[in-house]
Amino acid sequence: MTAPIVSTEPATDDEIARIAIGDVDAVLTRARNAFPEWAAQGTDARIAILRRFANEVRDDAEDFARLIARETGKPFWEAKTEVSAVVAKVEISVKAHEERTGTRALDGAATGALRHKPHGVMAVLGPYNFPAHLPNGHIVPALIAGNVVVFKPSEKTPAVGRRLVEYYHRAGVPADVVQFLPGGAEEGRALTGDARIDGVLFTGSSTTGIAINKALADRPGIITALEMGGNNPLIVWDTDDLDAAATIIVQSAYTTAGQRCTAARRLIVRDDLHDALMERLLPMVDRIIVGAPFDEPQPFMGPVIDNQAADGLLAAHDALVAKGARVVRPLRRVAEGKPMLTPAILDVTDVADRPDDELFGPLLQIIRVADLDAAIDAANDTAYGLSASLVGGSRADYERFWQLSRAGIVNWNKPTNGASSAAPFGGTGLSGNHRPGAYYAADYCSYPVTSTEADTPEAAIPVGLKD
């Protein structure tokens, strides 16, 4: 028998749960059989069930947030915001479904109609950084559209994934319509490669997303929505409010211990503004509290997900230093043997051939430049294209930055992260495949069907026939 997944708390290494690996074949058989009845229900009936789901989560919000905080290591205050996002997703998805996939008549020479159909069985693969909110962002619109879902959470956060599915079932979503499939990479490959799957909705690393894309390259009928990583730039330019700029940098780089796909990885600053900005930024970075989820006072940053992730970040930090990066604030463990890391800053201006990697943690790289053209070039010097932000500058500077930025999210005087669920979310290049999620998730959860219609057969051939 395959060993179960053992879930532990990053902050304490205490065991949370032991969960048996799921049976991919059995789960898909049940999903395939459940699809016709669920799809045949009216949209209003499905929406009513999902509103009950929102109420189930709302009623259990405190306990759910505690589980999220324990399994991810994120501060309790932040886990509460994730639960709120899970609840809010239902009404946002209802509105998006009505707006983007509604039924309407088509005017023309013949009577016509536009309607939408669900795809069928959707595989949802979730990440560990937002183990409830991000997969929920796929699952809710998929269910509203009439699809059934097989959900494989990250093997690092299976307990949150299991609880999320329990809330759907408590609300009245049939057991075979949303199924929990615990497992690792092997189960993920088996699930996404199975012929009974009609769609793959993925949030996670670019490496895994590319592997999924390659595996499905000869199956163009499979809808694939890939939400992947980012090597996101934040430019600080002409601004008199360096305190606000420093706050935006901290929020962008270190929220969720830097474990957000939209986190700022690269701080690009005008050379003659650099020293004044550092005078504001470094004292704030030094004040960041790193700790366990339920510590008092509440920490700003918890641990990264596990020691494997921490080791990888420390190795990347050391590799950049070996290439010539100047240490402004080092990346180091807060406590031996635990994945709690200090917020780090490296100046990589003079590093040749900087790696274009998503370093998924609290490690910010500074690049000093002479002018805005160089800043925009540096911002675009990446194969990723998720989020970018300009702090300071004029409206004309921002419009130029917006026009030239290769990113799906382009902000002005705001952090790179914290995107609204009421807007589309996604990127280009290694960050996504042009199927943005969040508000636009409705677009990939069903497909349009156009019809021309008449109550009785009507046809004529006016030319080209013999008498």
Please check whether residues 248 and 172 belong to one and the same domain: no
Tens digit of each residue's pLDDT (9 = 90 or more) over 335-385 = 999 999 999 999 999 999 999 999 999 999 999 999 999 999 999 999 999
Residue 182 has pLDDT above 50, yes or no: yes
Asked if residue 440 belongs to a domain, the reply is yes
Asked if residue 458 belongs to a domain, the reply is no
Question: Which structure tokens are listed for 144?
Answer: 């509203």
Please check whether residues 64 and 86 belong to one and the same domain: yes
Asked if residue 326 belongs to a domain, the reply is yes
Q: What CA–CA distances, in Å, run from 83 to 61, 143, 323, 446?
A: 6, 19, 42, 26
Neighbours of 38 (CB within 10 A): 22
Asked if residue 463 belongs to a domain, the reply is no
Please check whether residues 442 and 331 belong to one and the same domain: no
H runs (alpha helix) in 193-323:
206-215, 242-254, 274-287, 307-323
Asked if residue 427 belongs to a domain, the reply is no
Question: Which structure tokens are listed for 34?
Answer: 């459940």
Looking up residue 396, the CATH number of its domain turns out to be: 3.40.309.10
Vertex 119 angle, CA 93 and 455, to 5°? 95
Please check whether residues 239 and 200 belong to one and the same domain: no
Please check whether residues 75 and 177 belong to one and the same domain: yes
Please check whether residues 38 and 157 belong to one and the same domain: yes
Average pLDDT over residues 51-60: 98
Please check whether residues 327 and 441 belong to one and the same domain: no
Residues involved in catalysis = 227, 261
Please check whether residues 399 and 264 belong to one and the same domain: yes
Model-level pTM?
0.96
Please check whether residues 272 and 183 belong to one and the same domain: no
Q: What is the CA radius of gyration of the chain?
A: 24
Looking up residue 149, the CATH number of its domain turns out to be: 3.40.605.10
d(CA 29, CA 404): 48
Asked if residue 465 belongs to a domain, the reply is no
Say what the pLDDT of residue 1 is.
45
Please check whether residues 70 and 94 belong to one and the same domain: yes
Q: Is the peptide bond before 297 cis (omega within 30 degrees of 0)?
A: yes
The number of domains in the chain is 2
Please check whether residues 285 and 258 belong to one and the same domain: yes
Say what the pLDDT of residue 453 is.
85
d(CA 255, CA 77): 12
Tens digit of each residue's pLDDT (9 = 90 or more) over 223-264 = 999 999 999 999 999 999 999 999 999 999 999 999 999 999
Please check whether residues 179 and 254 belong to one and the same domain: no
Domain that residue 84 falls in: 5-228+432-452
